[in-house]
């Protein structure tokens, strides 16, 4: 037990036990120590030897039975119970420490921190705490548990794994604020069910498979034919009803007026009608589960941008059909690719963001959600300005890339094997991602010196190749990667803290009003 750890726990023991109790020497994560009225909880152990949760309580305290583990009698009054960092104890911890229980976050500025390895939450929490400490009065509500079913499958994780790892990671880091938990990119009702059972509170419905992007360029005759084939029973109206409802109307957004003509309504219906029906089906299924939740709707993973008229049509139709949501992710103009900054005209994006944010205020309010949001450093000031902070930032694979940055310093041989394996898998694994990395721009690892390897994490082509092949690489090297990070957890936390401060700081800076 180091000096800081000892002082943290010694203070608790002295308070609870009048200094009479001596606990066995162990490494205690000082930030995790929580004193309750007549008990205390903390994480102890080491990554190499294994970590666990410990509870100090009076012998007959009912809290002892809430946790699973082995009881050690310390004296005639006090016991310590030590258990695993597993799902039952994570549930018990969330029940005991209310701030670790995921809850809806409302319209506050929020950020989702994806974690493909289950090891990143302490670094995420450190970054957020550092940013908020430097900006008193500002708020960013975190979602530490965030992963899509697609990513869970590729990483070999379950919804329980994701929430358990995030719970203990936040506890270890001493996070005391509220938090949410995002079941991301859900496509089927059964996806909702397993995430409800695990304890998630934020549900992102992804109807992207039902969006018809060809509607942007289809001939009028094709549009009419497709319009008649939409699932009108699920949409609870008829084609003429939809067109007549909106055609000729004007949406006044303050700085602009959006005219809704019959042709734009027909195309919007064809493009998004099946997606709207799917969202309604999923949202009603979620409502039937009778759990406290927030809903996000994501149409960002599509081929073509969401026009302002289309956004208005989507929002109005969902409201008509009784769907309630907290955030919506349109497909903005330009390219939001994985692991790299925005590609496109920032002036055009600024105008697009302003329009979508105005619609969210007028028809909500609800948050705009920025998906594929990691590493979009040029975009953060723009979306903060457009939304006034009513925004949700969603990141995912960048924490995995930062893990590889650490690996590059610790084990160059492992990074070489990962890099060559990723190059071999890229063409197959890229299929479900919007990326444009060119494999020929990523050199074989044998052609790079040890000193050159860390620079891979700065190259946009290498970043995307490594990003989208994470599932295959974890199948091949997951245990080696995790072992290296566990044995150097401070290095990983510090690396994540530096990286995520860059993501978060633009969302707490004072907005300039020129």
Q: Where in the sequence numbering do the catalytic residues fall?
A: 184, 296
Q: Is 193 exposed, middle or buried (0-12, 13-18, 19+ CB in 10 A)?
A: middle
CA angle 179, 184, 188 (to 5 degrees): 135
DSSP 401-461: HHHHHHHHHH-HHHHHHHHHHHHHHHHHHGGGS-----GGGS--GGGS-GGGGGGGGG-HH
> Mutual orientation of helices 87-96 and 159-173 as an angle, nearest 10°?
50
Sign of the CA dihedral 219, 224, 230, 234?
positive
Across 269-288, b (16+ Cβ under 10 Å) vs e yields: bbbbbbbbbbbbbbbebbee
CA 17 vs. chain centroid, Å, equals: 41
For tokens 């979602």, the residue is 143
What's the maximum distance between 2 C-alpha atoms anywhere in the chain? Answer: 85
Q: CA–CA separation, 124 vs 497, rounded Å?
A: 6
Contact (CB, 8 A) for 270 and 230: yes
Q: CA–CA separation, 375 vs 503, rounded Å?
A: 7
Structure-block tokens of residue 37: 């009225």
CA angle 159, 184, 153 (to 5 degrees): 50
Q: CA–CA separation, 318 vs 274, rounded Å?
A: 12
Q: CA–CA separation, 230 vs 268, rounded Å?
A: 12
Contact (CB, 8 A) for 354 and 313: no
Contact (CB, 8 A) for 371 and 356: no
Q: CA–CA separation, 330 vs 366, rounded Å?
A: 12
Nearest to 181 by CA among 256, 239, 101, 246: 101
Q: CA–CA separation, 485 vs 502, rounded Å?
A: 22
Q: CA–CA separation, 10 vs 6, rounded Å?
A: 6
């Amino acid at each position: 037990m180091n000096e800081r750890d000892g002082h943290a726990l010694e203070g608790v023991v002295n308070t609870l036990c009048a200094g009479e109790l001596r606990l066995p020497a162990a490494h205690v994560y000082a930030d995790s120590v929580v004193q309750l009225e007549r008990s205390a909880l903390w994480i102890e152990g080491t990554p190499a030897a294994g970590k666990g949760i410990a509870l100090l309580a009076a012998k007959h305290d009912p809290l002892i039975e809430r946790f699973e583990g082995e009881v050690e009698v310390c004296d005639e009054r006090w016991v310590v119970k030590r258990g695993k960092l597993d799902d039952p104890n994570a549930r018990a911890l969330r029940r005991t420490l209310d701030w670790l229980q995921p809850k809806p976050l409302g319209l506050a500025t929020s950020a989702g921190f994806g974690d493909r390895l289950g090891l990143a939450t302490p670094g995420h929490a450190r970054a957020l705490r550092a940013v908020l400490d430097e900006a008193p009065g500002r708020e960013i509500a975190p979602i530490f548990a965030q992963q899509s079913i697609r990513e869970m499958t590729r990483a070999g994780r379950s919804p329980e794994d994701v929430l358990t790892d995030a719970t203990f990671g936040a506890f270890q880091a001493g996070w005391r604020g509220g938090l949410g938990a995002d079941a991301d990119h859900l496509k089927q009702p059964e996806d909702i069910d397993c995430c409800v059972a695990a304890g998630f509170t934020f549900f992102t419905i992804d109807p992207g498979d039902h969006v018809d992007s060809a509607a942007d360029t289809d001939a009028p005759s094709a549009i009419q034919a497709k319009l008649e084939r939409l699932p009108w029973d699920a949409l609870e109206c008829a084609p003429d009803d939809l067109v007549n409802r909106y055609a000729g109307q004007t949406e006044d957004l303050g700085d602009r007026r959006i005219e809704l003509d019959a042709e734009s309504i027909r195309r919007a219906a064809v493009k998004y009608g099946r997606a709207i029906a799917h969202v309604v089906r999923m949202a009603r299924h979620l409502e039937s589960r009778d759990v406290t939740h927030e809903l996000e709707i994501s149409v960002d993973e599509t081929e073509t941008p969401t026009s302002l008229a289309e956004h208005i049509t989507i929002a109005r139709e969902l409201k008509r059909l009784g769907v309630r949501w907290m955030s919506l992710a349109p497909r903005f103009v330009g390219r939001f690719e994985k692991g790299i900054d925005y590609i496109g005209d920032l002036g055009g994006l600024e105008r697009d963001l302003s329009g979508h944010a105005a619609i969210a205020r007028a028809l909500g309010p609800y948050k705009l959600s920025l998906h594929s949001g990691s590493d979009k450093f040029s975009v953060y000031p723009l979306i903060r300005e457009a939304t006034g902070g009513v925004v949700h930032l969603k990141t995912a694979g960048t924490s995995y890339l930062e893990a590889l940055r650490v690996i590059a310093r610790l084990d160059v041989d492992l990074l070489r094997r990962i890099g060559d394996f990723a190059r071999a898998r890229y063409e197959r694994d890229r299929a479900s991602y919007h990326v444009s990395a060119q494999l020929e721009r990523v050199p074989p690892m044998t052609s790079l010196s040890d000193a050159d390897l860390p620079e891979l994490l700065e190259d946009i082509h290498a970043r995307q190749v490594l990003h989208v092949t994470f599932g295959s690489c974890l199948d091949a090297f997951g245990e080696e990667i995790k072992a290296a990070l566990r044995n150097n957890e401070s290095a990983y936390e510090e690396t994540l803290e530096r990286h995520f401060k860059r993501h978060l700081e633009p969302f707490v800076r004072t907005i300039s009003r020129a």
